[in-house]
Amino acid sequence: MRILVINGPNLNLLGQREPGVYGAGTYDDLVAGVSRAAAGAADVEFFQSNSEGALIDAIHGAAGRFDGIIINPGAYTHYSYAIRDALAAVPVPAVEVHISNVHARESFRRVSVTAPACAGQIAGLGFGGYIAALRHFTGDLAVSGQIRLGEAPSVSGGTRLLALIGDPVENSLSPRTHTAFAGALGLPYIYLAFRITPGRLPAFVGAARTLNIAGFNVTMPHKQAIIPLLDRLETDAGAVNAVVNRGGELIGHNTDGKGFMLSLARLGVNAAGKRAVILGAGGAAKAVSRALRKSGARVAILCRRPGSADMSGADILSWEQTAEAAGSADMLVNATPLGSTGHAGFDSLGFVDALPAGALVYDLVSYPAETALMAAARRRGLTVVGGEALLVSQAALSFELFTGVAPDLGGA
């Protein structure tokens, strides 16, 4: 098997170009490392140029000579449709690689016009991304724009830590889910859960910097409290549930809204034009409301204190109007802790009987797996979704923020 490794502009300056972002290894180190990894499995040839035309010529020349292309187009990633067309034109499969986690950097770096012409994209693994791409072609790994759930990764001196913090965390599925994501691609990450009480939150944030934790998820009771301890936010949700460590800078994100919409998409649910009723007015309700309205849904918020709800663009209704609102709902979302382990349940579930046939009931509660609300909806024959669907989707989005690789949730 013959593999062509193509590197674009400025990659000849590896080692001296922003070592805090791209590492201290030189281009020669990259060539040597990939060559060692390929020994006995593939013949690898390397090409680097700062010229778009030369890169296109190299892609054209791969036809009939190579079985695969590993390409890091550099800055051309974001705007070179000519390179994209070249990759699409030649009958040689390609994998796009980036040394840094482009998905956790400036917004323009997150856009790739060349990736759609490739089998997949790997980012944020340093020189290891090239080796992961090599393993795709040698048959040790299947890359298809994502990763598949698999075995836990091996641990070495280069393994980096991902984490969950909260109180409690003992029942969390996150360690199993993230570790499975990492294991599928052999990525050098492990994921652990830490019970952090409110008084120890500042100490943990300091430890995350000192230990160079690559990223960590944040659950109750820290989603708001952690905000002043971070360097920067990439969310205006008023709460943070994922923190990325980029060169010592801790950046807060919120995946509630995107995770909710991803979970609906996995179920084949299109929210456009639908009437959604959301129970609750906290951070999760706000994020879900915003995401649904952005998708074209009409949203009503049911809350105990309507005057305190900040939900511009949504209808704000009192808790006493729940049954009335449910009567015209295509979708009902419980964004309160009612019915969750350790919390009281609903005073009455009579509003479930008011829901139209065919309505969807989505309980964001994670524990227990089957809430009283879900059970009542099932008895009505309604479509029911539990909090685990949201957790898996949020985990996939967080994992991509942390590592630059999007997991495949097809079997999750």
Candidate from 51-65, 295-309, 333-347 with smallest mean pLDDT? 295-309
Q: Is the bond leading into 168 cis (omega within 30 degrees of zero)?
A: yes
Strand 315-318 and strand 298-303: the pairing is parallel
Confidence of residue 154 (pLDDT cuts 50, 70, 90): low
Label residues 81-93 b or e (16+ Cβ within 10 Å = b).
ebbbebbeebebb
Q: What are phi and psi of 59, to 5 degrees?
A: -65, -45
Q: Residue 411 — pLDDT band, cuts 50, 70, 90? A: very low
Q: Are residues 182 and 101 in the same domain?
A: no
- Retrieve residue 191's tokens: 């994921």
On whether both 287 and 356 belong to a single domain, the answer is yes
User: Does residue 129 share a domain with residue 17?
Assistant: yes
Share of the chain above pLDDT 70, in %: 92
- Both 7 and 127 in one domain: the answer is yes
Q: How many domains does the chain have?
A: 3
In contact, 123 and 101? CB cutoff 8 Å: yes
Residue 281, pLDDT > 80, answer yes
Same domain, 323 and 345: yes
- Confirm whether 403 is domain-assigned: no
Longest dimension (CA), the chain: 71
Spatial neighbors of 214 by CB under 8 A, at least 6 apart, are 160, 161, 162, 189, 244, 245, 402, 403
Same domain, 113 and 212: no
Same domain, 272 and 244: no
Instruction: Give me the domain span that covers residue 228.
Output: 160-254
Give mean pLDDT, residues 387-395. Answer: 87
Give me the CATH number covering residue 373: 3.40.50.720
pLDDT band at residue 152 using 50, 70 and 90 as cut-offs: very low
| pTM (two decimals) | 0.60
Weakest mean pLDDT among 21-30, 159-168, 258-267, 350-359: 21-30
* Pair (124, 232) in one structural domain: no
Asked whether the predicted pLDDT for residue 153 surpasses 60, the reply is: no
Q: Look up residue 14 and give its DSSP letter.
A: T
User: Which tokens go with 182?
Assistant: 């990492």
Single-letter amino acid, residue 181: F
Average of per-residue pLDDT across 291-297 = 94
Query: Who's near 130: CB < 8 A, 6+ residues apart?
Result: 5, 30, 33, 34, 70, 72, 97
Question: Does the residue 398 lie in any domain?
Answer: no
Is residue 301 situated within a structural domain? yes
- Average pLDDT over the chain, rounded to an integer: 87
Q: Which of 77-81, 106-110, 254-258, 400-404 has the lowest mean pLDDT?
A: 106-110
Domain assignment present for 315: yes
pLDDT given for residue 55 in this prediction: 97
**Phi, psi at 20, each rounded to 5°:** -65, -20
Please check whether residues 186 and 127 belong to one and the same domain: no
3-29 mean pLDDT: 87
Task: Indicate if the pLDDT at residue 142 is higher than 70.
Answer: no
Of the pLDDT bands very low, low, confident and very high (cuts 50, 70, 90), residue 391 is confident
Tokens of residue 177, six digits: 């889910």
* Confidence band of 170 (pLDDT split at 50, 70, 90): confident
How confident is the model over 397-408, as a mean pLDDT? 89
> Tokens 């949201």 correspond to what residue?
390
Residue 146 lies in a domain: no
At 329-381, the pLDDT tens digits run 999 999 998 998 778 999 999 999 999 999 999 999 877 778 899 999 999 99
- Considering the domain boundaries, does residue 409 fall inside one? no
Which residue of the set 223, 258, 286, 294 is catalytic? Answer: 223
- Of 254, 282, 317, the position where a domain reaches its end is 254
Highest mean pLDDT among 71-80, 104-113, 306-315: 71-80
The DSSP element (H or E) to which 190 belongs, if any, is strand 189-195
- Identify the pLDDT of residue 102: 78
Residue with tokens 């129970």: 279
Amino acid identity, position 5:
V
Residue 223 annotated among the catalytic residues of the structure = yes
Identify whether 208 is part of a domain: yes
Q: Give the side-chain half-sphere CA count within 13 A for 50.
A: 4
* pLDDT for 412: 45
Whether 40 is in a domain gets the answer yes
**pLDDT 10s digits, 204-236:** 999 999 889 999 999 989 999 999 999 999 988
The residue with greater pLDDT, 179 or 140, is: 179
Identify the band that residue 52 occupies on the pLDDT scale cut at 50, 70 and 90: very high
